[in-house]
Structure 1
Amino acid sequence: MTEHYRLATLEDAESLLAVTLDAYETIRALNIPFPAGHATLEVIQNNVTQHECYLLEEDGQIIATVTLDRGQDARRQAISSYPFIRWFAVSPNHKGKGYGSRLLDWVEQQVILTKLDEPALFLATATRHPWLAPMYERKGYTPFHTQVVQTADASEEIVFMIKILDPERYHAQSVQTG
């Protein structure tokens, strides 16, 4: 079995949709209004073309995915200027086998540190989700900001979490930006 990491293409959209919807079943069951939980093929296609959607595949089958958001959301930029990842999903048939951790590690090292030359990245999740924030904490992410986000139907408390990949550079940048 061979693992392969790469950027998703539009040809991957249907498989990405299936993995994302399957992985976000808990999000829907908890009625958390994350767009990935209610994605359509068009939404997945837009995600692939507008952002950097990475995937881990094994023997040609998509196992896990995560998106580096390349949008310039002013509200998010006010929280942190570091790269933002979202839409992390692992096929339920492959959960608990380390695929998600390996994909996150690869994106952190190969994309964030090497390609973008950034010392940190951040993400967001719902505070009321029973296991997501603790899972990210085990992967080295630290909560640094909470905020209530209003959607058309409800409000949701979100926790933003940062992972420092290069502490020396991160602290040097923090001192410079004051």
Structure 2
Amino acid sequence: MANFRLATLEDAPALLDLTLRAYEPIRKMGINFAAATADLALVEKNIRENMCLLMEEDGKVLSTISIRMPWGPSPGPFGVPHLWWFASDPDAGRKGLGREMITWCEETMVRDTLKSPAVSLGTADRHPWLIEMYKRRNYVIEGSKDLGRGHITIYMKKILIPDMVGQGAGGH
């Protein structure tokens, strides 16, 4: 059975290996995501600065996703937790692995633990299927920006707690 937890610096080598294998198709498409060309120092920085989560089974890392906080050094655009660095083991052979990881992240960590009414993410306009995948997960396009990486970043947001939307951090 899969176990979910926060990553530690000891997990960095395994996360780097997973990330580079998972992002190989992204590199071949010429899409410049930071994770696609990560090195050990960047993985360690991500673990230190963000909530880097992982799914493991029998000691093997199967999937990872990170949450950048609005108060952190690299916040997302909407003042809510921002998902990034999402990768699942391409060799695991388990269909739905990524879906299981992102659902746990959205529901258990962002909604139930952080009590955030929404979550955001960004993806490349040039990616052939990610935007549609996130739309199927109820993400809505909220904006775009040229970050100078050779593609337009499409920012998407998903409402997690409809009753809290619009209340702000100090809502009553």
Structure 2 length normalisation: TM-score? Answer: 0.90
The residue type equivalent to 1:98 in the other structure is: G
Check conservation: 1:126, 1:158, Cα contact below 8 A.
yes
* Partners of 2:12 and 2:81 in 1: CA distance: 23
Check conservation: 2:16, 2:40, Cα contact below 8 A.
yes
* Partners of 1:89 and 1:56 in 2: CA distance: 10
The residue type equivalent to 1:53 in the other structure is: C
Deviation of 1:120 after TM superposition, in Å, equals 0.5
Unaligned residue ranges in structure 2 (runs of 5+): none
Listed as ranges, the matches of 1:1-178 within 5 Å are 2-70=1-69, 71-73=72-74, 76=76, 79-94=77-92, 97-151=95-149, 155-170=150-165, 172-173=166-167
* Partners of 1:112 and 1:143 in 2: CA distance: 19
The residue type equivalent to 2:13 in the other structure is: E
- Structure 1 runs of 4+ off > 6 angstroms? none
* Sequence identity (%): 37
1 or 2, which has the higher helix percentage? 1
The residue type equivalent to 1:119 in the other structure is: P
CA RMSD of the aligned region, Å? 1.9
| Number of aligned residue pairs | 168
Which stretch of structure 1 is more off in the superposition, 133-142 or 18-27? 133-142
Task: Indicate the SS of the match to 1:121.
Answer: strand
* Partners of 2:162 and 2:73 in 1: CA distance: 25
Unaligned residue ranges in structure 1 (runs of 5+): none
Deviation of 1:72 after TM superposition, in Å, equals 3.7
